[in-house]
Amino acid sequence: MFKKRIWFGIILSVIFLVFSINGSTAYYKYTQESGTNFYVGTDDKADALEDTNEIRQILDDLGNLLGHSKRDDLYPKNGTTGGYLGRLNYGLDASKPAVPVANDMYLATDTYKVYRCFVAPGWFEVYPPKVLGTLAADVNMGGHKLTNLSIPVSNGESVRTTATITEANLEDAVARRHIQNTDTQFDFYNALSSDHSCSGNYDSQTVGEDVTFGDLLYFDWTTKRWKKTDADLAANMPGLRIAIETRTSGQSCIMLVMGYIRDDAWDFTGAMVYTSATAGGVTSIAPSAAGQQLQRVGVAKSADILFFDPSIDVGEI
């Protein structure tokens, strides 16, 4: 719609120029339209009847007339706040009018900037775009720079208003300074307050038989799948993973590689935990029968919580 108004102004200007070349007057007269959808104030009419109507003045007046005339909801929306052709000027950035009129636009010829006056008497830079809201910085798209950025955040979760990213703490976050390694210490143990919970390092591999939470698993080289251990069989050792979900043969299963795990079905009675003669089981009673396999898989923190850190060494009784 804005382009149509500009073209309309240009065509009207050409007509007036032709009249002037043919000896006709270069001035124009104004005739007020009638009807409920039109309104033009006294100031608009006075502008139209000026004796010094140069081409620039004609375009300005045309914009004013279009901006205040039609009062239906098509163009403009109403006589006060509807669409407005306004005045489009250009020149050096520093030469733009100090006190613009509402809806004036100014194109700077020596910079990337375009200004518009939304509310007199100030300019607003519409291009390059300025960041509004909580960003305390100018984003200069033409200059390709971003300075003094201050974004409200909280614990890195989402944008909030409790903290800000400043140059100092952003640099610290990138450099991640270590004070006796206390700020980056990985704590395996979270309070395991419920049954079938765990924390630590995980792996996801295919199982070769049905498994449930807490089953100790060994890697079957023949099938390239993980299966349940058995301290009675050397081929079913050593146990190097614990299943932490229920899966059937051929499915991918998440497994604990090292860390804490809780299973209320366990009832450890000592600190050391071993591979059990029960398929997939763990026990605090070391296997002792001839031919059985002895492997330590971790340390009991309580009767039902195990710190899983399996040894790869297996001994036969």
Specify the pTM.
Answer: 0.46
More confident residue, 95 or 142: 95
pLDDT at site 66: 55
Instruction: Provide the residue ranges of all domains of the chain, joining segments of one domain with +.
Output: 1-80, 197-316
Q: How confident is the model at residue 292 (pLDDT cuts 50, 70, 90)?
A: very high
pLDDT at site 194: 93
C-alpha distances in angstroms, 238 versus 19, 95, 181, 298?
A: 102, 83, 33, 13
Query: Is the pLDDT confidence value at 40 over 80?
Result: no
**CB 186 within 8 Å of CB 234:** no
- Rounded CA-CA distance 231/216 in Å is 11
pLDDT tens digit sequence for 246-278: 999 999 999 999 999 999 999 999 999 999 999
Query: Is the pLDDT confidence value at 192 over 70?
Result: yes
Residue 260's nearest CA partner among 192, 195, 186 is: 192
Class of domain 197-316: mainly beta
- Rounded CA-CA distance 227/239 in Å is 9
**CB 96 within 8 Å of CB 132:** no
Q: Computed from CA positions of residues 182, 183, 184, 186, in that sequence, does the dihedral angle turn out positive or negative?
A: positive
Instruction: Locate 188 and state its tokens.
Output: 């395996």
C-alpha distances in angstroms, 31 versus 25, 40, 44?
A: 17, 10, 11
Query: Is the pLDDT confidence value at 98 over 80?
Result: yes
